[in-house]
Amino acid sequence: MKAGFRIVFFKEMRDILRDRKTLLLMIVLPIVAVPLLLNLLIGFVMKQEEEARTEVLEYVVFGAAHAPELAKRFAAADGFEQVSLGSADELAGAIREDRIDFGLVIPEQAAARLSDLEQATIEFHYDNASASSKVEERVGDMVEAFNEELTAERLAKLGVSSSRERKAVLKPVRLEEKGTGDLREVIGDQIGGMVPYFFIAFCFMGVVYPAIHLGAGEKERGTLETLLLAPIPRHQLVIGKFLAVFSGGIIAVLLNLASVGTWLAIKAGEFRGVLGSLIGAIDTLDLVLLALMLIPVAAMFAALLLSVSIFARNSPEASTLISPFGIVLIVPAVLALLPGVELNWFWAWVPVTNVSLAMKELLKGTMDYSMLLAIFASSTLIAVGLLFFCAKWFNRESVLFRV
Amino acid sequence: MLQVTSLTKTFRLARKKRDSAERTDPRERGRWFHALDGVDLGVQRGQVLGLLGQNGAGKTTLLRILSTSLKPASGVVLCDGEDLTRDPLEIRKRIGFVSGNTGLYGRLTAREMLRYYGRLHGMATAALDERIGFLSRRLDMERFLDQRNETLSSGMRQKVSIARALVHDPEILLFDELTTGLDVAAAESVLQVVTDCRGEGRTVLFSTHHMDEVDQLCDGVAILHEGRLCFEGGVDAMRSETGESFLDKAFLKLIRPKTEETQ
């Protein structure tokens, strides 16, 4: 005869996998929705950046005659279109109403100051409340290029003509940065704290529905009572159910990781700049190690949520009781984001936080692999403890026949 | 046979209920609710005992104790001379339980569900398939045996429930309000199963609110009122003791003095 827990496990898996809601949460969501969301999000960010960079900026200049060279530069540059406006007083209103993107006011004395080798000031009016706007950067670049030309001219007049001399005059001392953290480390530190949170959330989501279905769902359907009469020890029943819920979490995590991994492999070449190096910093081994660390986390969630679920009278009550755990979970995950919280022998024993920290280290490429053992040991111990509690819980009449 | 002696069962009262000034039920004493209080009864092999009582009288609690899903506070239940609480796993193999509230796994077919319970009872595949074939013929379940339970009517579902309770060939059957919510034809075929079980020499404990079922099926009757046994005897004794020919009236007479006493 097969061990009781195996009979229960196989039946529960069959039951879970026949449910559309579970399939949607556990399988369709990671395979279809996650890459789609990533695509949309990254595509949107890149498109916004591209648009802000190439969009034609409409501007007005007052006092163009006082710095004609500068005015000409703007007029000749791609992506800028001069329009007209009544007076400089209308600038703020026109920018607010989106009639123009920016305005330059060149004062009368600018011409004299420029020719006298003094510094001229030009007013630059724009909407500085828009974070995604590239107006400041693009106008700044134009003025910077103009400045460089003037600087070269002025220095030449002073007898400084070679570019080496020019550099020496403009910046007598240069600070050469020799940071010990490589780019991967810097980026890993920035996003490493966020990534685990998403995977921990996926893992939680994968566990929730099977836990509700196999705990409170049994009470609701009236099948719990008949199941309790099966001649198998209660702990076997709990282990069978636990393994099914745990598998739900593992399937969700693996599918999410595989989905993200495939997406990264296909899309890696498409990204440039910071985004590109950020994505390039993650490799397959990291994803495998991430999955390994999430195994005991899934076990903890499975035992915990199964205990909560069997306490509830029905599925809606189980959902209500379980939802606060989703929020509470954020706390240990966010702890890993706090400055000064590093993976050490203390934090290695704090559940969820330890996994978040380890994922951060993995992404940074600075993992101390001996810590993995402590993380595995602590998560597994807690999972076993919770499972033990769950088995005890399944023996209490006040829990099973709660009215 | 099944022998119950001085059986009691208490449940801890919720704090709110405990502190409430209005206590209408005499079974609420201190921190406890006495659901069963010194119940004695016996059912012989091959007999059907009808368990009667108003809602909340303690019938389901008694059946749950006999099925081993609840533990008694005190008292003894002997199943063919063996103490029920001593080795519940072994006793469970001899017991089949169905109630009006027991449900089915909607996403499994009737056959899958019967296989699941058969395996949990340690049955080998060949014997199990043979038993499922036999039960499905007997309960006229063949045409829906491979349909998902969620698509079945109430009558079909109750047949699956009964087949589930019979799959491991138990000696003792506990039926709790078996025909609740069924139409006449479905109820009739379900009751036929009870008759057949008796014919096969099984011990049946059968709780119901329908006196015609009692008249038709039961060899003996036990009436529970507020957790205590107030009558045990034959159907004829019920009539002669009360002087009523209708069992409904006889039942009400048998519990009424008790109701008046407790008020």
What does the pLDDT look like over A350-371, one tens digit per residue?
888 888 888 878 777 777 878 8
Amino acid at site A96: R
| C-alpha–C-alpha distance, residues A403 and A396, integer Å | 13
Domain ranges of chain B: 2-262
Instruction: Please name the residues between 208 and 247 in chain A that touch chain B, using a CB distance below 8 Å.
Output: 221-223, 225-233
- All residues of chain B having their beta carbon less than 8 Å from the beta carbon of residue A228 are 69
**What value does the mean pLDDT of chain A take?**
84
Which tokens in the block code for residue B155?
A: 């009558």
- B2-262: which CATH architecture? 3-Layer(aba) Sandwich (3.40)
Higher-pLDDT residue of B188, A34 = B188
Residues 6+ apart with CB under 8 A from B63: B51, B97, B99, B174, B176, B205, B207
pLDDT (mean) for A322-346: 83
**Residue A142 DSSP SS3:** helix
Window from A45-49, A236-240, A328-332 with minimum mean pLDDT: A45-49
| C-alpha–C-alpha distance, residues B51 and B208, integer Å | 7
What does the pLDDT look like over A245-285, one tens digit per residue?
999 889 888 888 888 878 877 776 666 655 566 566 666 77
Could you state, in chain order, the average pLDDT of each consecutive group of 10 residues for chain B (263 residues)?
A: 89 72 74 88 91 90 91 89 84 89 89 96 95 93 94 91 94 90 85 90 92 90 92 91 89 75 52
A172 in contact with chain B, both atoms CB, cutoff 8 A:
no
The ipTM of this complex is 0.88
Scanning the structure block, which residue is given the tokens 């019967």? B114
A1 in contact with chain B, both atoms CB, cutoff 8 A:
yes
Contact call for B108 and A15, based on CB within 8 A: yes
A234: closest chain B residue by CA: B89
Which tokens in the block code for residue A186?
A: 């810097």
B181 in contact with chain A, both atoms CB, cutoff 8 A:
no
Contact call for A223 and B117, based on CB within 8 A: no
Does the reported pTM lie above 0.95?
Answer: no
Q: What is the DSSP letter of B7?
A: E
Q: A188: pLDDT confidence band, cut at 50, 70 and 90?
A: low
- All residues of chain B having their beta carbon less than 8 Å from the beta carbon of residue A18 are 107-108
Contact call for A230 and B121, based on CB within 8 A: yes
Q: What domains are there in chain A, each with its CATH number? A: 4-37+182-400 (no CATH), 58-170 (3.40.1710.10)
| C-alpha–C-alpha distance, residues A17 and A22, integer Å | 7
| Residue B17 and residue B29 in contact, taking contact as beta carbons nearer than 8 Å | no
B117 in contact with chain A, both atoms CB, cutoff 8 A:
yes
B31 in contact with chain A, both atoms CB, cutoff 8 A:
no
A395 in contact with chain B, both atoms CB, cutoff 8 A:
no
Contact call for B116 and A11, based on CB within 8 A: yes
- All residues of chain A having their beta carbon less than 8 Å from the beta carbon of residue B97 are 225-226, 229
Distance to chain B for A330, nearest Cα, Å: 34
Contact call for A4 and B120, based on CB within 8 A: yes
- pLDDT for position A43: 79
Which tokens in the block code for residue A183?
A: 């780019």
- pLDDT for position A189: 67
Scanning the structure block, which residue is given the tokens 């169905």? B98
Q: A1: pLDDT confidence band, cut at 50, 70 and 90?
A: very low
